[in-house]
Amino acid sequence: MNYQDIDITNFLPHRKPFLMVDNVLSIDDKHVSTSFTIKDDCIFIDNGVFNEAGMTENAAQTCSSIVGKGYFQDDDVLGERTKLIGFISAIKTLQISRCPKVGTTIETYAKINSKLATDQYVMCSITCSISQNQEELLSCEMNLFIREIH
């Protein structure tokens, strides 16, 4: 599958100007990798830098996309039949070493550590990191809560 064809908004409830993920680079049931090019009109820019809140939101959206994928069948990942809502229920750890500048592209990688799924919702713990040119900028572990809305 060409991951560039996946519309990330099918996995996330976020829309511009609050969408902090451009592309899915790879995704399966336990891992996801995304990219985001930081533009000067981004709402999380402070003095030409993508700020800490924006980086945390990018991490959360990347983490949410891997959980959101579980609501889709393989033939539905390009469709719009499923709608999701989710939120961060806890940030266990968060370390930011540097914030990237406008015009750069970051890559975000997330891995599910544990997951509890019911008919009503999914709760999970996910480890995530953001890098730019192979330099780690952020590492974190967060808990997410996601459910389908009708």
First CA to last CA distance, the chain: 28
Mean per-residue pLDDT, 30-39: 96
Condensed to tens digits (0 to 9), the pLDDT of residues 76-127 reads 544 455 667 778 999 999 999 999 999 999 999 999 999 999 988 889 999 9
Mean pLDDT for the chain overall: 87
Mean per-residue pLDDT, 26-54: 95
Q: What integer pLDDT is reported at residue 72 of this predicted model? A: 61
Number of domains present in the structure of the chain: 1
Q: What integer pLDDT is reported at residue 113 of this predicted model? A: 97
Identify whether 100 is preceded by a cis peptide bond (ω within 30 of 0): no
d(CA 59, CA 64): 9
Token pair of 127, please? 């480890």
Mean per-residue pLDDT, 17-46: 94
Its domain, for residue 66, covers 3-149
Q: What is the pTM of this model?
A: 0.87
Find all residues with CB under 8 Å of 105, minimum gap 6, and list them.
35, 36, 37, 38, 132
Q: What integer pLDDT is reported at residue 78 of this predicted model? A: 46
CATH (domain of 144): 3.10.129.10
Q: What integer pLDDT is reported at residue 77 of this predicted model? A: 47
d(CA 80, CA 92): 32
Phi then psi for 31, rounded to 5 degrees?
A: -135, 155
